[in-house]
Amino acid sequence: MFRKILIANRGEIAVRIIRALREMNIRSVAVYSDADRASLHVRMADEAVHIGPSPAPESYLAIERILHAAASRGAEAVHPGYGFLSENADFAAACEDAGVVFIGPPAEAMRKMGSKLSARQVAREAGVPVVPGAECGIASLEEARRTAAAFGYPVLLKASAGGGGKGMRLVAGDHELEAALRDAAAEAQAAFGDPAVYIEKVVERPRHLEVQLIGDKHGDLVHLGERECSLQRRHQKVMEECPSPLAASRPGLRERMGEAAIRVARAAGYRNAGTVEFLVDRDANFYFLEMNTRLQVEHPVTELVTGLDLVKLQIQVAAGERLPFEQAAVSWRGAALECRIYAEDPDNNFYPSPGLIMRLERPAGPGVRLDSGVYQGWTVPLDYDPLLAKLAVQAATRQEAIARMIRALDEYYVAGIKTNLSFFRRILEDPAFLAGELHTTFIEEFFARRKHSAPPADPELEAVAALVAAVHSEPDGAGHSPPAGWNRWRAEGRSEQLR
């Protein structure tokens, strides 16, 4: 087993990985930029190496700087986390060339599945249903016209070299095709350095389900079930859950999607942790969408329901150990939800809200897990994704998990910066959410419902409420936290204290 591992990441995921290493008695090496000098992951690691200025291309994306840090500290392996270099096949190959184990899939599998067109080809050859669409990139406007007409509008133009909605354009009819094609190719080139774009038939109001899998170096591949990831805002997942309410109501769906995900991974020569994403239509037919060749942000909901530690498993299989269980031994208990807590202002178009965290009161108690990358007194930098923490809960049923999440959100208190905490409170009370009626346009429809039904905010009441909240939250020297249920009072926009 490794003695020392470098974490090529920052924030909550770096803290998460350091915790697994500590439990495995493996020394941790953090890397940090100027902006992260006082970060939590730097404080918690056994060793820390400054790798450069704040901009990611000069620090967390600088392959040579990361590898130099690993060599200078004698790290035998590198964990990339998610984002940054985690799906960069050149980085994975550079690690191996430098004699440092990359904790993730082989570079070749990453490359193969990183291109959407080749990933779709792998899935097709593995006998897995793929979202209806072209098998190769668009070569000309005329060819695009023929392909779109063959599938029937509306169609989606997608960048082959990337995901997450970048370079994606919805085309409702032939008259929009030329401009959409030009814009999509330009965005794909800017974002991924590759203008290749292809056509897919739109799956109407799909759900977005993904299957977690893990494979070792001995050919063992196991799936850990599905996650519901339909609640997305601008292609950013905001809330995830396990199991999917759909799978819970469709016997055999989990097993069929799990088997399909394993077939894709095996065909790709995949090892370590990965996730196969599917779109699921209203008849519960699932179609391969793409594969994520990294540990995902939302991995905690799978860990909470299966009782497994995915980061430890990644490290064990990267060290050459066999998976310590077979598929039949995987079981799922209860339900888990995760909210991604961002430093952003939901009342101002979710713009980032960096700055000094003046007060921080965290939720706790049974079935509550907080993967946080921040602390009171730390200044959230503007240079990176403003994810502060992930709040996850586990309970026996989905309803109990929702109640637990509401209770945990009410205990969560952050002063000094804006957060999206109140946004989740409102989602968790939404009838469609409570009924498990989830799909990829949920958030847009949720906002539309609120715009038409929400009472006009009373600026007078809001101002008084903010003043009372500020008074209550002022440290009284005894460090007392705000009154219990502080957020509930804020979220509902009224207060017993004001009566």
Burial classification of residue 344, based on how many CB atoms lie within 10 Å of its CB (0-12 exposed, 13-18 middle, 19 or more buried): buried
Amino acid at 36: D
Q: Does 200 bind ligand MV4 (CB under 6 A)?
A: yes
In the annotation, is 294 catalytic?
yes
Q: Does 228 bind ligand MV4 (CB under 6 A)?
A: no
For the record, the structure tokens of 347 come out as 């009342």
Burial annotation 129-168 (CB, 10 A radius, 16+ → b, else e): ebbebbeebbeeeeebeebbeebeeebbbbbbbbbeebbb
**Cα gap 154→156, rounded to integer Å:** 7
Q: Does 265 bind ligand MV4 (CB under 6 A)?
A: no
The nearer residue to ligand MV4, 18 or 280, going by C-beta atoms, is 280
Q: Does 208 bind ligand MV4 (CB under 6 A)?
A: yes
Cis amide linkage into residue 352, ω under 30° from 0: no
Report residue 344: phi and psi, to 5°: -150, 160
Contacting ligand MV4 (CB under 6 A), which of 109, 202, 276, 304? Answer: 202
Residue 61 CB-half CA count within 13 A: 11
Of 65, 120, 207, 294, which residue is the catalytic one? 294
The residue range among 87-95, 164-172, 414-422, 453-461 that interacts with ligand MV4, by the rule CB under 6 A, is 164-172
The nearer residue to ligand MV4, 200 or 411, going by C-beta atoms, is 200
Quote the least distance from Cβ 164 to ligand MV4, whole Å: 5
Quote the least distance from Cβ 154 to ligand MV4, whole Å: 9
Name residue, tokens 């939250």: 473
Neighbours of 53 (CB within 10 A): 14
Contacting ligand MV4 (CB under 6 A), which of 119, 130, 203, 310? Answer: 203
Contacting ligand MV4 (CB under 6 A), which of 52, 163, 245, 363? Answer: 163
Q: Does 164 bind ligand MV4 (CB under 6 A)?
A: yes
| Contact set for ligand MV4, span 278-337 (CB under 6 A) | 279
The residue range among 30-38, 194-202, 356-364, 407-415 that interacts with ligand MV4, by the rule CB under 6 A, is 194-202
Residues, the chain: 499
The nearer residue to ligand MV4, 201 or 254, going by C-beta atoms, is 201
From residue 433 to residue 452, what is the string marking binding to ligand MV4 with x (rule CB under 6 A)?
A: -------x------------
The residue range among 35-43, 203-211, 342-350, 391-399 that interacts with ligand MV4, by the rule CB under 6 A, is 203-211
Q: What is the DSSP string of 160-183?
A: TT--TTTT-EEE-SHHHHHHHHHH
- Which of 227, 276, 286, 240 has its CA nearest to residue 119? 276
Q: Does 226 bind ligand MV4 (CB under 6 A)?
A: no
The nearer residue to ligand MV4, 196 or 417, going by C-beta atoms, is 196
The nearer residue to ligand MV4, 287 or 412, going by C-beta atoms, is 287
Round to the nearest angstrom and report the end-to-end CA distance of the chain: 62
The residue range among 196-204, 363-371, 374-382, 428-436 that interacts with ligand MV4, by the rule CB under 6 A, is 196-204
Report residue 281: phi and psi, to 5°: -85, 180
Quote the least distance from Cβ 50 to ligand MV4, whole Å: 35
How many residues of this chain interact with ligand MV4, rule: CB under 6 A? Answer: 16
Q: Does 154 bind ligand MV4 (CB under 6 A)?
A: no
Beta strands at 27-33 and 4-7: parallel, antiparallel or unpaired: parallel
Q: Does 235 bind ligand MV4 (CB under 6 A)?
A: yes
- Three-class secondary structure of residue 212 per DSSP: strand
User: In Å, how far from its chain's centre is CA 493?
Assistant: 30
Quote the least distance from Cβ 474 to ligand MV4, whole Å: 41
The residue range among 18-26, 97-105, 158-166, 385-393 that interacts with ligand MV4, by the rule CB under 6 A, is 158-166
Angle at 231 (CA atoms; ends 230, 237), nearest 5 degrees: 95
Name residue, tokens 């205990």: 411
**Cα gap 279→440, rounded to integer Å:** 9
What is the set of active-site residues? 294
Q: Can you give the binding site for ligand MV4, defined by CB under 6 A? A: 131, 156, 163-165, 168, 200-203, 206, 208, 232, 235, 279, 440
